[in-house]
Structure 1
């Protein structure tokens, strides 16, 4: 090393998105590194995407692109429902979906159920622009097991949003037909539910099985898609279960200030590339709606 050269720390966070796929981000600072009763929580500051929340090694959100995911998860169903007064958010302890839900004047109450209170507190501390709605008077927070909570409620919610982590460990039950049955019972007759169902490139089998599970429970199921740059492959899917109404029809305009979701985007999100339709319609089960 020359006399004028300096060694510089070169720190990287690497997410192993599949056994054969990795995403790396250069780290400016490690802000939090802890183990909660349920999962490992990491918050890092990066040059490319700002602050990043990582749970059990998987990126949950970044300051730069979180709106892509949170807006789609909330507004695809909230704008499709004629009057979404009661909203249940399962998971989503960071508060991003809640932030989007309360932008709708029709919403009277949002109940957030996340088993890990440490995630909620972490978002309050490090992601105030994401968690800002958690203090709203219309928001009720229940730090408990969503599988148990949903079983105790019947015909109560207009919208259920399942903002789950990857289907491993304590979150695996949120992708099972038995859970979908409980969600179906918790919804009103014109209720809608939405769940993130991963990438068709990285997890085609998971997408197929989750969609099949929903079709075994709901009268009609639809798939939408969007872009989330830091999620595996950047191509993400959202499965919508409906008791009666067609979520492809936008009944209420997008709230002001959205950066990804829009009135134009709503119908387009349900237009699927042929390879995605093939993944979910391989068995042509009754009630399937591809686009």
Structure 2
């Protein structure tokens, strides 16, 4: 008998993958969690029926959350990752030697626990001495730590359940206040095919708070539609003004390169129109 996992990405559209094995299913205090092993994408973390990461394509998302912002800020010593309990963004952040401390605030400790067990290639740096892992509410951490971080990265699920407050204007205002005077933040902002209204609203909200706002994209095959967006808000530094030759080549990267840094901000016209 064949087993298949299907994510209903909208009420009328989904993606499906053939399963080798179901490794764990658990209803945590915050969400339904599953870890499954698929034939095409390897081990896959699923939260509330949504694919969060897979062994095969995780590098795209994690590199594109971390490197554009860290290569835009000239001296990112203190970095906060909100969410991201799988550890992939933290792994990418630690590739930058100027980062002295990276703080991970994940609301669901089970995500951390099972990622360490089943996704060691993604979560392998969570025990690094430069990392502080906190099982706590990222929204409250933002409110309670003003003027603390050089870069903040919001690695959230889609805007449902415990992640819903992470897409509100008040949260972005809190991020602004938690960043230092030249700080940068970046958040995943879903896809333009199914969540155009979300991208428009986030862009509008962030523009009312940050003087520099840029949207960029990447291709992630297991995420809804495959075309994914990220929104960067900066107090001082424009990612489009970064000198490409100053960006270090990282041989361990599989997606992000110095050439891609500015190219990622070149959006299809229908996505550009959402950001006006």
TM range, smaller chain = over 0.9
Equivalent pair of 1:75/1:254 in contact (CA under 8 Å): no
> Counterparts of 2:24 and 2:161 in 1: how far apart (Å)?
22
Question: Which residue is 1:262 aligned to?
Answer: 257
CA RMSD of aligned residues (A): 0.9
CA shift, 1:88, in A, is: 0.2
Q: Whose Rg is larger?
A: 1
Question: Which residue is 1:148 aligned to?
Answer: 140
Question: Which residue is 2:224 aligned to?
Answer: 232
Equivalent pair of 1:155/1:185 in contact (CA under 8 Å): yes
> Counterparts of 1:134 and 1:146 in 2: how far apart (Å)?
17
- CA displacement, residues 165-201 of structure 1 (integer Å, 9 cap, x when unaligned): 0101221100001000110011111111000000001
Question: Which residue is 1:271 aligned to?
Answer: 266
Question: Which residue is 1:288 aligned to?
Answer: none
Tell me whether 1:46 sits opposite 2:38 in the alignment.
Answer: yes
Equivalent pair of 2:239/2:262 in contact (CA under 8 Å): no
Question: Which residue is 1:92 aligned to?
Answer: 84
Tell me whether 1:23 sits opposite 2:15 in the alignment.
Answer: yes
Please list, as runs of the form range in 1=range in 2, the aligned pairs for 1:5-84 lying within 5 A after superposition: 9-84=1-76
Question: What's the TM-score once normalised by structure 2's chain length?
Answer: 0.97
Find runs of 4+ consecutive structure 1 residues off by over 3 angstroms: 249-252
Question: What's the TM-score once normalised by structure 1's chain length?
Answer: 0.92
The number of aligned residues is: 273
Question: Which residue is 1:4 aligned to?
Answer: none
Flag structure 2 segments of 5+ consecutive residues without an equivalent: none
> Counterparts of 2:254 and 2:173 in 1: how far apart (Å)?
33
- CA displacement, residues 62-81 of structure 1 (integer Å, 9 cap, x when unaligned): 10000010000000101111
CA shift, 1:255, in A, is: 3.0
CA shift, 1:247, in A, is: 1.7
> Counterparts of 1:129 and 1:113 in 2: how far apart (Å)?
20
CA shift, 1:253, in A, is: 2.1
> Counterparts of 2:68 and 2:240 in 1: how far apart (Å)?
8
Determine which of 104, 107, 112 is the counterpart of 1:115: 107
CA shift, 1:248, in A, is: 2.2
Tell me whether 1:222 sits opposite 2:214 in the alignment.
Answer: yes
Flag structure 1 segments of 5+ consecutive residues without an equivalent: 1-8, 282-291
